[in-house]
Copies of this chain bind each other. A is one copy, B any other.
Amino acid sequence: VPTNRIEALSDGVFAIAMTILVLDLQIPSGRTDLLTRIGTQWPKLCSYALSFMMLGVLWIGHHFQFQYVKKADRTLLWINLMFLLVVTFLPFAAALLGREYDSPVAVVIYGSTVIAAGAWLLAHWVHATRDRQLVSPEIEDSVIASIRLRIVFGMLFTACATVAGFIDTRASMVMFLATPAVYLARTHVDVHVSKR
């Protein structure tokens, strides 16, 4: 089974999830100054930019895997669907975080959503690379391990950010926002890819 339609469906879901985040931004009407009214929306603006970035990180991770994944079986289709289910849930978690940004419950729901997305991405990679059944056979062990490590690291980082929410939810926000920055730093995979 070729993978092009899985990628098309996934790109579609990501594109929509990224775009409907903005539907949550609503400027209240009222007699006060427009800037003041926009100012009241900063937690939603933060959550919107943050969630867009998170979806970007997840999309890049998904994108990277499919450079190596060459075919799909039914299990991979379902792992991918479960991953996309979590991706579609992120706009809801983002809206919650934007509205109840001082609640540890909202932070835990948001963090768990991101961790769950990471877990499915990891399951996706582990299933595809087991005995190299769905990836090109010449892929190196070091690449398999480094992609696995990237995902695990991201999940641990998000778990820390989530736990930090029990002390101060603003600390979680800052740590969540730092995730893309962490990923921007070049790692082994990039080096491997640019060497090719």
Contact = CB atoms under 8 A, between A and B. Distances in A.
Contact of A20 (B19, B25, B95, B106): B19
Oligomeric state, in number of copies? 4
A52 B5 CA distance: 17
Q: How large is the interface on A (under 10, 10 to 19, 20 to 34, 35 or more residues)?
A: 35 or more
B11 A78 contact: no
B18 A84 contact: yes
Contacts of A184: 74, 78
Interface in A1-46: 1, 5, 7-9, 11-23, 25, 27, 29, 33-35, 38
B34 A106 contact: yes
Interface of A: 1, 5, 7-9, 11-23, 25, 27, 29, 33-35, 38, 49, 52-53, 56, 59-60, 63, 66-67, 73-74, 77-78, 81, 84-85, 88-89, 91-92, 95-96, 99-100, 103, 105-106, 109, 180, 184, 186, 190, 193-194
